[in-house]
Amino acid sequence: MADSPEAIKKARNKYLLIGLILFVFTVVTVAVATQPWLDFGKHGFDKVDARIGLMIATLKAGLVAAIFMHLSHEKKTIYVLILIGVFMGVALMSLTGWTFFDPIKYGNPIKRDGFNKGTPAASEEE
């Protein structure tokens, strides 16, 4: 806690600096998404630009959590809980992404077992 006017002024300057950094990173994120001269991947917004934007957003979230939410002064337990949350989030996103490699598709055209309502089993006889 800031007890003296000097400490209050120092804390205010730190918060203003972090706020300015967050504003600059926001402008950079928008520029990466919209400006052709900051286009890192293929022409237009693509995966590379999205990843860069997410990395900048992660950095901004870390600054907000450490400075404005005062997590930089917490005990070790809070960091363990945060790491568990990050691990679980990555695990859930990985499971969701894993479904794109599932070999079972809706309406398997090879078996023609009537699973797909658009191609009834009777159409095999034709």
Asked if 63 and 121 sit in the same domain, the reply is no
- Which of 73, 94, 113 delimits the end of a domain? 73
115 with 104, same domain: the answer is yes
Longest dimension (CA), the chain: 89
pTM for this one? 0.57
Same domain for 61 and 102, yes or no, is no
Single out the residue in 73, 92, 107 at which a domain terminates.
Answer: 73
Do residues 83 and 55 share a domain?
Answer: no
Same domain flag for 64 and 47:
yes
- Shared domain for 57 and 10, answered yes or no, is yes
Domain that holds residue 36: 5-73
Hey, what amino acid is at 123?
Answer: S
Say whether 80 sits in a helix, a strand or coil. Answer: helix
Among all chains, which residue has been given the structure tokens 């079972």? Answer: 104
Provide the domain count of the chain: 2
Taking CA atoms, 124 is separated from 62, 104, 110, 112, 121, in Å, by: 58, 21, 11, 7, 6
Tens digits of residue pLDDT in 10-62: 888 989 999 999 999 999 988 888 888 877 777 777 888 888 888 999 999 98
Contacts of 59 (CB under 8 A, 6+ apart): 25
Looking at residue 65, the DSSP 8-state letter turns out to be I
Q: What is the pLDDT of residues 62-113, one digit of tens each?
A: 899 888 887 777 788 888 888 999 999 999 999 888 877 776 666 555 555 5
User: Using CB atoms within 10 A of its CB, is residue 32 exposed (0-12), middle (13-18) or buried (19+)?
Assistant: buried
Instruction: State the pLDDT at residue 111.
Output: 56
State whether 85 and 67 are in the same domain: no
* pLDDT greater than 70 at residue 125: no
Please report the pLDDT score of residue 1 as a whole number. 59
C-alpha distance from residue 90 to each of 23, 34, 93 (Å):
27, 28, 5
Distance CA 121, CA 17 (A): 68
